[in-house]
């Protein structure tokens, strides 16, 4: 994996190691982000996601950054209205400037589900179709934006966030 693309394109993609059991997450209910009345609260799932967050930090984040802080974790289904528009979570008030999305379902041109990333400095826009067990690690520096599309089928994501002072 070329971690330099994190700074050049605003993201890195890869697959979660097969030794990590993601199947256990299918037994949990994923928060439907379109439903404003529901708040995700699952201490058992949260503990397991925090474990993933620590593994990812050890395998990837610490290879680039010496200082970072683990922030929130969550799992959800679908795409809310704000996420469907170009945005930057840190600029929009998020307490993090980097996050990882682990996909539990395939995103494909056929089902219309995708994530897009753009660099406002180069005007480059990239469309990604992560598969089940793939991750997208987003750089949330101000020059990067992303948006998500959910057209058909199931679109479930596990997410965890980091605050990285070097990116401020």
* pLDDT score recorded for residue 39: 75
Contact present, 48 and 25 (Cβ < 8 Å): yes
pLDDT at 164 over 80: yes
Closest CA to 108 of 80, 127, 93, 88: 127
Please give the sequence-ordered ranges of beta strands (E in DSSP) within 28-133, or none if there are none: 31-32, 69-77, 98-103, 114-119, 124-128
> Quick one: average pLDDT of 103-109?
98
Q: Please tell me the number of Cα atoms within 13 Å of 91 on its side-chain side.
A: 11
Q: Which residues of 99-138 are buried (b: 16+ CB within 10 A; e: fewer)?
A: bbbbbbbbbeeebebbbebbbeeeeeeeebebeebbbbbb
Closest CA to 114 of 101, 99, 96: 101
Contact present, 94 and 140 (Cβ < 8 Å): yes
Please give the sequence-ordered ranges of beta strands (E in DSSP) within 87-143, or none if there are none: 98-103, 114-119, 124-128, 134-139
**How far, rounded to the nearest angstrom, does the alpha carbon of residue 142 sit from its chain's CA centroid?**
17
Confidence of residue 3 (pLDDT cuts 50, 70, 90): confident
More confident of the two residues 28 and 2: 28
């Amino acid at each position: 994996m070329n971690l330099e693309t994190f700074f050049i394109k605003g993201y890195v993609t890869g697959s979660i190691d097969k030794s990590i059991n993601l199947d256990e997450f299918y037994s949990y209910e994923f928060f439907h982000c379109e439903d404003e009345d529901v708040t995700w609260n699952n201490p058992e799932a949260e503990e397991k996601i925090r474990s993933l967050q620590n593994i990812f930090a050890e395998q990837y984040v610490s290879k680039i950054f010496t200082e970072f802080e683990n922030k929130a974790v969550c799992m959800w289904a679908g795409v809310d209205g704000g996420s469907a528009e170009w945005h930057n979570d840190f600029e929009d008030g998020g307490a993090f400037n980097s996050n990882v999305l682990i996909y539990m379902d395939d995103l494909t041109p056929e089902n219309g589900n995708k994530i897009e990333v753009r660099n406002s400095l180069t005007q480059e826009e990239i469309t990604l179709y992560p598969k089940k067990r793939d991750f997208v690690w987003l750089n949330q520096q101000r020059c990067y934006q992303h948006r998500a599309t959910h057209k058909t089928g199931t679109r479930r994501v596990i997410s965890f966030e980091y605050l990285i002072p070097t990116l401020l």
